[in-house]
Structure 1
Amino acid sequence: MRTFLKVLGFVAGFAVVPALAQAETLADALASAYKSSNLLDQNQAVLRAADEDAAIAMANLRPVLNFVTSGGWRQYDQTITSLGDDNAGSGSLELSAQVVLWAGGRGKLSLEAARAQVLSTRAALVNVEQQVLLQAVSAYVNVQLQQEIVALRQSNLRVITQELRAAKDRFEVGEVTQTDVALAEAALAASDANLAAAQGQLMVARERYKAVTGQYPGKLTSLPKPPALPKTLDEAKAVAERGHPLVTQAQHQVTAADLSVKIAATAFRPTLSGSADLSKDTDTGIGSGGLALQLSQTLSAGGRNAASYRKAMAGKEAAQAGLLQSVVQVSETVGQAWSQLLVAQASIEAGRQQVTAAQRAFDGVREEATLGARTTLDVLNAEQNLLSARASRLEAEANRYVGVYQVLASMGLLTAEHLNLGVPTFDPEAYYNAVKSAPAHSAQGKALDRILQKIAD
């Protein structure tokens, strides 16, 4: 077992050597997570797709211009035709434009609904950003925790090794029996196994850190002071209910659903459209042009329009209920995170007292054992109690630190901007502004090309 631990320690040490040149801070980990997150990239692409939906809605308000050219050749049978030529060619050119002049406001309503969906998707992206940053905090703290647990296990192994040596010495002089020596040997084997398990957990934590930040952890600096939180739970809930991205997302979904109802209502109204065309027969050289207006209205659609309207109304009611539920959910999440933070704080204080008491007990039992008043088993049990107390305190401190960021995330404030990470952040307005007018080839189109190239890089 000890040989395995030496090999494992060598491998773990070799893995971190390249990163020892510069210590990593929590801010570094958060910045790396933000820049390397595939989840953020995915949802940023989803937002760009929503931006394009708004551009499509804008394009639907414009005329549609079509160009058609045709040509042909025909062979005639002279036995059944009086034409002088036995073959003839023909061709035509046509340019036409159609535009919906009035459709009960459907076009503008569709544009407003698309914009509401853009804002909803932006809020969803902010919530994903919070998840990514919270995972980075958790991964960073967990690596440090597991490193400290490994150090505790290594210290425990050294102490038990000393106890085994002392038990053997005392056995030689007849102060203890072979049973005491066997107990110490069993405790040493258990300590070896526990150290291997702790090093395994550290390796797992390192893999999680790499998955979140894109790289293995090097030398990690001590944790900085956590961000400030509101003084009371009610204040935290008020912030969350007012601006959490889930609430904001639900609000925009209600707006989009309301617009969908208005769009469905336009199906019962007439549509006025206009068209213009220019054409020329290349065979005869005769050209023509014309303008036309068309007023149409569906008299009966078999109940489809009425069903679509009722469906939109149901969607609106669902969105409104979803908004109310989002507020409830966000408030509950804040309360849970706040409670977990209080529990962690209480655990830290209790853990400190437990460590102090366990340390005194261990020192006393070991001293009494040297005088023959305690057995080797008493010493080993006292050492195990001290180890458990120290590990519990470390876990409570880690939980408390992560708990602060969990409260911050539950309030909707765990963002790169709020944390002042100092990294280039995704600008949701840049792409939207480049495509909102549905450009084809223009200065805006060139700006869009630059944005897409930057994203690709």
Structure 2
Amino acid sequence: MTHRQKSKTTLRSRWLGGLALGALLLPGIAQAETLRGALAKAYENNPTLTAARAGQRANDENVPIQKSYGLPDVGARANYEENLIIPGNAFNSPVRSFSSNAQLSVPIYQGGAVRNAVRAAKYRVEAGQADLRATEASIFSQVVAAYMDVIRDQAIVRLNRNNVSVLRTNLQATSDRFEIGDLTRTDVAQSEARLALAESELRRAEANLIASREAYIQLVGEAPVDLEPPPALPNLPATADQAVAVALENNPDIEAANLAVEASRSDIGVAKSARSPKVSATLGGGYNNFLGSLDSGVPGVDVRQETSSAAAGISVTLPIFSGGRSSAQVRQAQSRSSQAIENYVATERNVIAQTRGAYAAWRANEQVISATQQAVGANALSLEGVRAENSVGTRTILDILNAEQEYLNTQVQLVSAQRNSYVAAFSVLAAMGRAEARDLGIEGGPLYDPAVNYERVKNEIWDWADDPTPRQQATDTRDIPAADASLPADTPSARR
């Protein structure tokens, strides 16, 4: 293992060890997956996130690009010519020649174009960094939803399998009692119909589980294995107004929209600079050598074969009339600035609505959980009572089937509400700008810091400072087996 690989492994270990959500996870087997582990894998390997980082690095380069227009420009040229055919009346034309020239151009005044363009580029770099934070929070929210979807759908499949098993037992008991004349054919038909319906619901639940697992693989890059219950989420707001207040201060989408407004204002300055004079200084020189092939045409008279030249000057360009192009460009920049301002308002509205909606969904699902837990307990008691009453002849088989169905429905509602509550709570944190890697207890070098690349390139003026050849960062999922509907208890390792 190379030093670089060891360093990367150490950093990743520190990163995985530092990731926390403010609560202890329930203990599990060594192969079990935790939510923090899933988030860590997505943070390192999700292609949407790694692509966003690459896009931000490209965005960083706009600053040195704009700065370059205010720096000196040096160029050189060399040329060698061999005259293959010389006109008959060109008695002193050279047979061959070599020439070279060089020029230095120094911009002195650009009407504020460079200054405003650099300022706009810097604002857009900061906006891009905020967008990267938003992408990170979005990926984490999707991972949390996928993680909870798998847990929910596993529970639903388990409940439906248990229901099918119970209904098969009921059908066998009903058939036995029909054989001895204790029940009618109608009772048997009702049991058969309910079992068939339960089996179809099981198939649907298994399909949903497979889809949830595939979504998890897409986001995390690995198959979900024995997912542990998630930890409690910290720092949830007490009220919706409190959540909105934090979101208005910390939400990365709002920050990016605000920086886009500032960049658009600098763009107006760039457009206005087109109407200003431009001043630059130039220094140039040239050298020609006819390589002994230049003839004076007069016998005995030599001609100088080499010439050189040098010149320095100042160039002033004063725009006088451009057919209205300059004012049109200024008006265009002003309109785009107005658009950026309105986009900021729209973003702010959207964040407020998302925050309030997520908070309402979280609180509502907490109440649903409380009510459904009571319903599950009540339906469990009701099912026992109906079975007991059926044994003494006061309840029918249909009453038992209905009680079993109600018990199953409330159990499914409970696990769904638990999933919805957790996802909504995480969405509240995301809207508040508190669901990013920096908020999850991650510290030190392993965190990707977009400012590092910006600081590296912002003042780079060397024309050969290329980066290494791009390599794939995200992991492939082509070799991961297709997801199935097996439950953790069905795996060989679990059976052992």
User: TM-score surpassing 0.5?
Assistant: yes
- Preserved CA contact (<8 Å) 1:431 1:451: no
Q: Stretches of 4+ moved more than 6 A in 1?
A: 450-457
Report the counterpart of residue 210 of structure 1 in structure 2.
217
Q: Mark the CA change 1:89 to 1:188 in structure 2 (over 3 Å): closer, same or farther.
A: same
Cα distance between partner residues in 1 of 2:95 and 2:201: 95
Superposed counterparts of 1:145-160, under 5 Å: 145-160=152-167
SS in 2 for 1:104: coil
Cα distance between partner residues in 1 of 2:88 and 2:253: 80
Q: 2:134 aligns with which of 124, 127, 135?
A: 127
Query: How many residue pairs were aligned?
Result: 433
SS in 2 for 1:281: strand
Report the counterpart of residue 56 of structure 1 in structure 2.
65
Q: Mark the CA change 1:253 to 1:155 in structure 2 (over 3 Å): closer, same or farther.
A: same
- Per-residue CA deviation, residues 134-187 of structure 1 (Å, 9 max, x unaligned), is 111011111111111111112212221221222123223322112111211222
Cα distance between partner residues in 2 of 1:209 and 1:322: 33
Q: Mark the CA change 1:355 to 1:46 in structure 2 (over 3 Å): closer, same or farther.
A: same
Q: 2:437 aligns with which of 400, 416, 441?
A: 416
Report the counterpart of residue 14 of structure 1 in structure 2.
none
- Per-residue CA deviation, residues 226-249 of structure 1 (Å, 9 max, x unaligned), is 222121211110111112111110
Q: State whether structure 2 residue 450 is matched by structure 1 residue 428.
A: yes
Cα distance between partner residues in 2 of 1:196 and 1:326: 42
SS in 1 for 2:158: helix
After superposition, the CA RMSD in angstroms is 2.2
Q: State whether structure 2 residue 193 is matched by structure 1 residue 180.
A: no
Bigger Cα displacement from structure 2, 154-163 vs 235-244: 154-163
Cα distance between partner residues in 1 of 2:90 and 2:461: 54
- Unaligned 5+ runs, structure 1: 1-18
Report the counterpart of residue 278 of structure 1 in structure 2.
285
Superposed counterparts of 1:31-42, under 5 Å: 31-42=40-51
Q: Mark the CA change 1:301 to 1:185 in structure 2 (over 3 Å): closer, same or farther.
A: same
Cα distance between partner residues in 2 of 1:78 and 1:394: 95
Cα distance between partner residues in 2 of 1:456 and 1:108: 38
Bigger Cα displacement from structure 2, 191-200 vs 133-142: 191-200
Report the counterpart of residue 321 of structure 2 in structure 1.
300
Report the counterpart of residue 29 of structure 1 in structure 2.
38
Report the counterpart of residue 16 of structure 2 in structure 1.
none
SS in 2 for 1:71: strand
Q: Percent identity?
A: 31
Report the counterpart of residue 68 of structure 1 in structure 2.
77
Q: Mark the CA change 1:116 to 1:182 in structure 2 (over 3 Å): closer, same or farther.
A: same
Q: Mark the CA change 1:159 to 1:271 in structure 2 (over 3 Å): closer, same or farther.
A: same
> Which structure has more helix as a fraction of its residues?
1
- Preserved CA contact (<8 Å) 1:139 1:205: yes
Bigger Cα displacement from structure 2, 227-236 vs 371-380: 227-236
Bigger Cα displacement from structure 2, 86-95 vs 99-108: 86-95
Report the counterpart of residue 348 of structure 2 in structure 1.
327
Q: State whether structure 2 residue 382 is matched by structure 1 residue 361.
A: yes
Q: State whether structure 2 residue 269 is matched by structure 1 residue 247.
A: no
Q: State whether structure 2 residue 353 is matched by structure 1 residue 344.
A: no
User: What is the CA distance between 1:131 and its match in structure 2?
Assistant: 1.1
- Per-residue CA deviation, residues 186-233 of structure 1 (Å, 9 max, x unaligned), is 222222222222122111111111011001111111221122212121
Cα distance between partner residues in 2 of 1:421 and 1:24: 19
SS in 1 for 2:254: helix
Bigger Cα displacement from structure 2, 203-212 vs 420-429: 420-429
- Preserved CA contact (<8 Å) 2:47 2:474: no
Q: 2:150 aligns with which of 143, 147, 155?
A: 143
Cα distance between partner residues in 2 of 1:133 and 1:298: 53
Cα distance between partner residues in 2 of 1:82 and 1:178: 123
Cα distance between partner residues in 2 of 1:451 and 1:92: 37
Report the counterpart of residue 92 of structure 1 in structure 2.
99
Q: Mark the CA change 1:65 to 1:176 in structure 2 (over 3 Å): closer, same or farther.
A: same
Cα distance between partner residues in 2 of 1:92 and 1:33: 59
Cα distance between partner residues in 1 of 2:261 and 2:424: 32
- Per-residue CA deviation, residues 25-79 of structure 1 (Å, 9 max, x unaligned), is 0001111111121111221121111111111012111111110112223356585
Q: 2:198 aligns with which of 166, 191, 203?
A: 191
Bigger Cα displacement from structure 2, 184-193 vs 23-32: 184-193
Cα distance between partner residues in 1 of 2:251 and 2:272: 32
Q: 1:226 aligns with which of 233, 242, 248?
A: 233
Q: Mark the CA change 1:76 to 1:87 in structure 2 (over 3 Å): closer, same or farther.
A: farther
Cα distance between partner residues in 1 of 2:425 and 2:383: 34
Which one-letter code corresponds to 1:44 in the other structure?
A: R
- Preserved CA contact (<8 Å) 2:260 2:340: yes
Cα distance between partner residues in 2 of 1:453 and 1:128: 21
Report the counterpart of residue 418 of structure 2 in structure 1.
397
Bigger Cα displacement from structure 2, 431-440 vs 142-151: 431-440
User: What is the CA distance between 1:455 and its match in structure 2?
Assistant: 6.3
- Preserved CA contact (<8 Å) 2:110 2:273: yes
Q: 2:459 aligns with which of 416, 437, 450?
A: 437
Bigger Cα displacement from structure 2, 395-404 vs 165-174: 165-174
* TM-score normalised over the length of structure 2: 0.83
Report the counterpart of residue 388 of structure 1 in structure 2.
409
- Per-residue CA deviation, residues 348-395 of structure 1 (Å, 9 max, x unaligned), is 112112112212221111111000111111100110011001111111
